Amino acid sequence: MAPGPELARLDGYPFEVRYSDGALVRARAAAGIATDAYLYLSCLFSGIEPDIAIIVVDEGDWHSRWRSRQPYGLPYFNDDAGQLRPGIVMMPAGGGDFWTGIGEDIRRASPHGYAKLLVTYPDGAGGLDFQPFFDLVTIHELAHSFAVLGGLTLPTFWLGEMFANLALHAFVATRQPESLHTLEVLPTAGAGSRRLAARMRAEGYSTLDDLEAHYTGGERPMNPLNYVWYQYRWLRLAAATFDADGEAVLARFWDCFHRPDHVSSGEVTAASLAPLLTTEVSETLGQAIRRWR
């Protein structure tokens, strides 16, 4: 039996929702924001309605029932065969050690940035609670379902991440602008830390081609916190791209990568994709990809 049917079900949404015992509040929060985003993205993308389930689980279920490849606290989307639905959005009911690691990374690298995190994501006891930020990340994972199940031909992993972050930022900016601060403080602190960037470049990976080679496996796989650093940068780039181009950038992205003939055969690199992104999607995005280091 595929994991999931033994979990409690929450009805009344345009997709299936399942959750661990004790995670009802978090499941309702994730399903609520995902519903608004689902309707928003469906309108943007030709009425596409991906057949998905949103699964909100505690740490025990994350490891025992789902045998997740990701650390607890890092949401993800997959379309593996034999699941509840063609697409699965996996959301943690809390953060655990992984969220603690995110905070510690910034505390060590940027005391000033960490002080801003304490103001924006307080846990009420002098520490951090990233739950409000990760509630918004539900939209990012939902956007992956539109890209994957909606038939986008994305030749690199990082293009999928860029699309999901553009969708996330566009939804928050246009439909939930009161949450922009929550969305932006963490990635601004992470992407703005020179010390954190220097450590990632010295001890991990920093280029988009590095990510392509090492995030999804292979030799010397990427540390999850290294991956989070990429996400900081992508989120800030999504904000800059949206500020320059508005919602139209999502339509152009969608149209561009529904035409696989736009991507040449052979090896695909960040350098080879930058001209296409510049001319067909966004000059802001394309130029940033060309300059990425």
Give the pLDDT confidence score for residue 68 in this predicted structure: 74
Q: What's the token pair of residue 60?
A: 């025990």
Give the pLDDT confidence score for residue 219 in this predicted structure: 75
Within-domain flag for 292:
no
> What CATH number does the domain containing 32 carry?
3.30.2010
Within-domain flag for 109:
no
- Residue type at 266 in one-letter notation: G
Q: φ, ψ for residue 17 (rounded to 5)?
A: -130, 130
Within-domain flag for 104:
no
Pairwise CA distance, residues 6 & 47, whole Å: 31
Per the document, the length of the chain is 293
Within-domain flag for 83:
yes
- Domain extent at residue 44: 1-94+134-150
Q: Could you give the C-alpha distances from 50 to 45, 158, 232, 282, in angstroms and in order? A: 11, 21, 27, 26
The number of folded domains in the chain is 1
Q: Using an 8 Å Cβ cutoff, are 221 and 130 in contact? A: no
Within-domain flag for 172:
no
Q: What is the DSSP string of 223-279?
A: PHHHHHHHHHHHHHHHHHHHHHHTTHHHHHHHHHTT-GGGSPSS---HHHHHHHIII
Residue 53's SS3 state is strand
Within-domain flag for 34:
yes
Within-domain flag for 48:
yes
Within-domain flag for 15:
yes
Provide the residue-wise pLDDT of the chain in tens; the chain has 293 residues: 455 668 999 999 999 999 999 999 999 999 999 999 999 999 999 899 999 999 999 999 998 877 777 899 999 999 999 999 999 999 999 989 999 999 999 999 999 999 999 999 999 999 999 999 999 999 999 999 999 999 999 999 999 999 999 999 999 999 999 999 999 999 999 999 999 999 999 999 999 999 999 987 667 889 999 999 999 999 999 999 999 999 999 999 999 998 877 676 567 899 999 999 999 999 999 999 999 99
Closest CA to 16 of 155, 103, 8: 8
